[in-house]
Amino acid sequence: MTKHGGPNAKAINDWLVSDGRLSGDGVAIVGGFAERLISAGVPLWRARVAQQFSNPLLSAWGVIWTREEARLYTVKRTVLSTDAWHGSPFEHVISNRTTLHKPLVDLDPRRDHGVYLELAQAGGTDFYAMTLSYGDGSVQGCSFATDSDHGFSQEDLDLIFACRHALACAMEPVAMRRSSVSLLRTYLGDGPADAVTGGTIRRGEHTHIEAVIMFCDLRGFTTMSAQWPEAELMEALDGYFELVVDAVREHGGEVLKFIGDGVLSVFPVADTASRATRCIDAVAAAKKMAASLEELNRDRQRRKLEPLRIGTGINIGHVTHGNIGSPDRLDFTVLGQAVNLASRVQDLCKVVGEPVLATASVAALAPGAFRSQGSHSVRGLDAPVEIHSLE
């Protein structure tokens, strides 16, 4: 038993590997663990359980617990190159696979990491961090802080340390699921990721949906590939992809795939009443891309780099949404004449000299947003297609 009675290490561990683990909820696990530590007499003030992501964009996620709330957080991979990580207690315990105990008194701003300074300024008096070991050989970090005048006792620290394996047992399946879903969202997009995790995974599984299709293309990419240094080319692609993805997501669309320097996005239509809204969303995304491109090109001009130009085609129609591929390699995509036409309309941007073009169907659903550019022949179609440019 601990100094104030309440649950001991065995009781807390039993809960972690049973009800805690079966909850499948990281917030509930960390919150329940913290509450049981407090019931055992540990003067816990704050706790953080961090989990590394297997993700090229995100570094970590985790749960922060305080007496007021418990919440999830995520950390971008770029943070790993900043002082927020270097020299931090989490870097220390994970790199050395050890524990760390540091009183938050008499700190030196010139020597002590900002994490300690922030906790001390908020009222913290003592800090403890340790690792959680997972079955794949990885280690995760967790930390605990108190605002008690007496700090943590050795009995408090022994109890926390004795629960490390059970806490890891409870958190590991949650971490595995979140990593899997985050990877799917990174490479497939939100909608396809939800479909795949929901069981739509077999070859040939598909649905028919109506959607606004947006196809973007980076102008002059072939010349860039032949003439630009590789680092400069990759920087340009990253900047272009980022502004397209941000604009599409901001206005409720899904970036489905990158095709070379092309980006295929969809704005799914839920019902007839939302057709106009989805077209307007796509128009707003196209305008956002244009504004972001101007800002990007101003920066490129300051660095004496060539400006980038984008062509965008927008169409609305019914598409087939689902898995195609071989028995051991699948691709989640949209197919149909509406997708082909969006790509062909994007090609006409070069002919008409406009950065954004849409079909008459889209223009009709977004009145005042477009002006007609007449009818043009489109490869693969017998009849000319009326196209419209943004006002």
3-state secondary structure 3-36: CCCCCCHHHHHHHHHHHHHHHCCHHHHHHHHHHH
Fold of 9-185: Beta-Lactamase (3.30.450)
Q: Which residues are registered as beta bridge partners of 356?
A: 312
Predicted local distance difference test score (pLDDT) of residue 189: 66
CATH 3.30.70.1230 fits 193-390, yes or no: yes
Predicted local distance difference test score (pLDDT) of residue 196: 66
CATH 3.30.70.1230-classified regions of the chain: 193-390
| Residue closest to 338 by CA, chosen among 378, 293, 376, 311 | 378
The answer on pLDDT for 137 being more than 60 is yes
Over residues 191-216, the mean pLDDT reads 74
Average pLDDT of the chain?
88
DSSP assignment letter at 167: H
pTM over cut 0.85 = no
Over residues 76-97, the mean pLDDT reads 78
Predicted local distance difference test score (pLDDT) of residue 381: 80
What crossing angle do the helices spanning 164-188 and 154-162 adopt, rounded to 10°?
A: 60
SS3 at position 104 = coil
CATH 3.30.450.40-classified regions of the chain: 9-185
Residue 48: φ, ψ to 5°: -140, 125
